[in-house]
Amino acid sequence: MSTHHVENIPAIIGKMVRLEQQLGAAYPGIKLRWARIYGRRWSHLLGEVHDPTAVPMKLQINNEYGVIIEKHEILAMEDVENIVGLLKGEFGE
């Protein structure tokens, strides 16, 4: 985990772990990676690439955080909208 650069890291990581469990239960099969956004750079925070041959989905939560979803093919558009809504609610717009 590359967390040297994130302030208040235990709370942020705790939240990410909780959300990963929550979303994993709601949409079995999806895999999440989390990133801290610095301009164009999305710095790795938590998670790993499970299948580098898969085409991931990249969602920007707000100006600070983003999430990359593997196995997003199982999600309907409505599911994606629900996930974005949940994450924005947790992290702020």
Partner 1 sequence: MLAAVAKWRDNVIKPEENEPFLNKGRDFINDSLIENLLAVNQHPDPVRIREIMAKALELNRLELDEAAVLLNCEDEELWEEMYRTGLQIKHKVYGRRIVTFAPLYVSNYCVNNCTYCGYRAENKHIHRTQLSKEELEAEIRALVNLGHKRLIMVYGEHPKSDVDYIAETIKVAYATKEGNGEIRRVNVNAAPLKIADYKVLRDVGIGTYQVFQETYHHHTYQQVHRSIKADYRWRLYSLHRAMEAGIDDVGIGALFGLYDWKFEVMGLLAHTIDLESKFGGVGPHTISFPRLQPAVNTPFAEQSPYLVDDSTFKKLVTVIRLCVPYTGMIITARERAEVRNEVVNVGCTQLDASSNIGVGTYSQKEVDYSKQQFILGDTRTLDETIRDLAEMGWITSFCTADYRCGRTGECFMGIAKKGKIHNLCMPNAILTFKEYLLDYASPETVRAGEPLIEKELQALPNPEVRRVVREMLDRIEAGERDLFL
Question: Which residues form the interface with partner 1 (CB under 8 A)?
Answer: 1-2, 4-6, 33-36, 38-45, 47-49, 52-56, 58, 66, 68
CB 19 within 8 A of CB 86: yes
Nearer to partner 1, 5 or 18 (CB): 5
Using CA atoms, how far apart are residues 57 and 73, in angstroms rounded to an integer? 9
Kindly state the helix (H) or strand (E) to which residue 84 belongs, with its residue range. Answer: helix 77-91
Nearer to partner 1, 22 or 38 (CB): 38
User: Is 60 or 82 the residue whose CB approaches partner 1 more closely?
Assistant: 60
